[in-house]
């Protein structure tokens, strides 16, 4: 009898928990709802924007670990669009070739390779472990550069940016379009536009960082104009079956600033401009605010955007446990979850989660080479 109980306890089911249901966007099937979010690694040490063998190991190991979509870190659309001197980019053809073997490795491991395109705006030219000057602007004589923004308002103690002229704004739209074209030619199957965390596109959205009086400022229609035009430009070079994602901060956690209602309005507009999913985060726009971080604290924002903008969403932010993640998808709070810092600790988080949720090793999708080590 005891042996029978042990057998029952050890049995694994072949039916998938909702977290491991496939998701189809524009005809592209993603094997599950556990995705790797873009996380900066500041590891293009030659400062040429090219990913390296480190990036191959970083991303492909997580594809082998079972993530459904692997979204590569903030990838600059121009040298001045980097967050730090050691950011990766897609502003030239050499970078296309440097990305291709990584993209192929992600896809060969069963995941969908995606890339986040970004312009850093006033939060560019900042330090990192690789160059020093952490938490501050990198001086010009140490490899830094002049930053730009919708208005000449600094982020905290960073250098004050220069206000962009209208023709420069149009040039940045073209940089996003060209980078998206390179991303597709490198083999990426999905593209995410970074409009969160206080980088350039979110600076234009927020009334606390955008004081312009031209067509790119003023009311919400003006402040969202750049993001809409970037989305149109990026969508124009993507295949019909390639999903377009936009990452957005649903609130800046500051009185009188960016909030959920504006986020929902922008998400509705983006849906009508060919955007398929909103990657919902919060914060990073205004320095010195208090963020009530706790497990799942950003999930309600993803849920509200999904419900009121009628668009698919992902949820991110201190999601660390399998049952927690499955509940988010099962209850319809979001269509997928993104596992960030926990994935830095464990590249095989999805395989462990599959075991925790009772999924058999066959249904979990282990690489053949790893079956002998299955949970």
Average pLDDT rounded to a whole number, residues 337-354:
97
Residue among 278, 149, 236 at smallest CA distance from 201: 149
Instruction: For residues 326-346, give the mean pLDDT.
Output: 97
| Averaged pLDDT, 348-373 | 94
Whether the pLDDT of residue 5 is over 50: the answer is no
pLDDT at residue 211 tops 50: yes
Structure tokens at 163: 């206000």
- 24 forms beta bridges with 29
pLDDT tens column, 231-241: 999 999 999 99
The catalytic residue positions are: 199
Q: What is the pLDDT of residue 11?
A: 57
Averaged pLDDT, 188-209: 98
pTM: 0.95
Rounded Cα distance, 334 and 336, in Å: 6
192: confidence class by pLDDT, cuts 50, 70, 90: very high
Query: Residue 365: its pLDDT value, please?
Result: 86
Question: What pLDDT, in 10s, does the model give residues 138-163?
Answer: 999 999 999 999 999 999 999 999 99
pLDDT beyond 60 at 3 = no
Quick one: pLDDT at residue 16? 76
3-state secondary structure labels for all residues of the chain = CHHHHHHHHHCCECCCCHHHCCEEECCEEECCCEEECCCCCCCCCCCCCCCCHHHHHHHHHHHHCCCCEEEEEEEECCHHHCCCCCCCECCCHHHHHHHHHHHHHHHHCCCEEEEEEECCHHHCCEEECCCEEEEEECCHHHCCCCCEECCCCCCCCCCCCEECCHHHHHHHHHHHHHHHHHHHHHCCCEEEEEECCCCHHHHHHCCCCCCCCCCCCCCHHHHCHHHHHHHHHHHHCCCCCCCEEEEEECCCCCCCCCCHHHHHHHHHHHHCCCCCEEEEECCCCCCCCCCCCCCCCCHHHHHHHHHHHCCEEEEECCCCCHHHHHHHHHCCCCCEEECCHHHHHCCCHHHHHHHHCCECHHHHCCCHHHHHHCC
Does pLDDT of 8 surpass 50? Answer: no
Q: Is the pLDDT at 197 greater than 90, yes or no? A: yes
* pLDDT of 12: 61
Q: What is the pLDDT of residue 205?
A: 98
Alpha-carbon span 251 to 257, nearest angstrom: 8
């Amino acid at each position: 009898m005891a042996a029978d109980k042990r057998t029952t306890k050890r049995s694994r089911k072949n039916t998938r928990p909702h977290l491991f249901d496939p998701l189809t966007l524009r005809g592209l099937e993603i094997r599950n709802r556990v995705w790797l979010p873009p996380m900066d690694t500041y590891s293009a040490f030659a400062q040429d924007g090219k990913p390296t063998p480190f990036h191959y190991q970083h991303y492909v190991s997580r594809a082998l670990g079972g993530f459904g979509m692997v979204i590569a870190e903030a990838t600059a659309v121009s040298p001045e669009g980097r967050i730090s001197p050691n950011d990766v980019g897609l502003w030239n053809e050499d970078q296309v070739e440097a990305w291709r073997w990584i993209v192929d490795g992600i896809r060969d491991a069963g995941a969908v390779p995606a890339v986040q395109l970004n312009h850093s705006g006033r939060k560019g030219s900042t330090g990192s472990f690789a160059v020093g000057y952490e938490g501050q602007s990198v001086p010009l004589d140490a490899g830094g550069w002049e930053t730009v923004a919708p208005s000449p308002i600094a982020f905290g103690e960073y250098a004050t940016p220069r206000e962009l002229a209208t023709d420069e704004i149009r040039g940045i739209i073209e940089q996003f379009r060209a980078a998206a074209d390179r991303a597709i030619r490198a083999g990426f199957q999905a593209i995410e536009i970074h409009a969160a965390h206080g980088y350039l596109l979110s600076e234009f959205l927020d009334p606390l960082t955008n004081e312009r009086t031209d067509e790119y400022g003023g009311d919400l229609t003006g402040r969202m104009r750049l993001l809409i035009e970037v989305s149109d430009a990026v969508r124009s070079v993507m295949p019909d079956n390639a999903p377009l994602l936009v990452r957005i901060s649903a609130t800046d956690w500051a009185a009188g600033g960016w909030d959920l209602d504006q986020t929902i309005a922008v998400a509705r507009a983006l849906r009508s401009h060919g955007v398929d999913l909103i990657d919902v985060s919060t914060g990073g726009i205004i320095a010195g605010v208090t963020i009530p971080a706790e497990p799942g604290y950003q999930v309600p924002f993803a849920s509200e955007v999904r419900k009121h903008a009628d668009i698919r969403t992902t949820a991110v932010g201190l999601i660390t446990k399998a049952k927690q993640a499955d509940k988010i998808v099962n209850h319809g709070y979001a269509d997928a979850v993104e596992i960030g810092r926990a994935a830095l600790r464990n590249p095989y988080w999805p395989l462990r989660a599959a075991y925790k949720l009772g999924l058999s090793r066959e249904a979990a999708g282990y690489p053949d080479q790893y079956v002998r080590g299955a949970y």
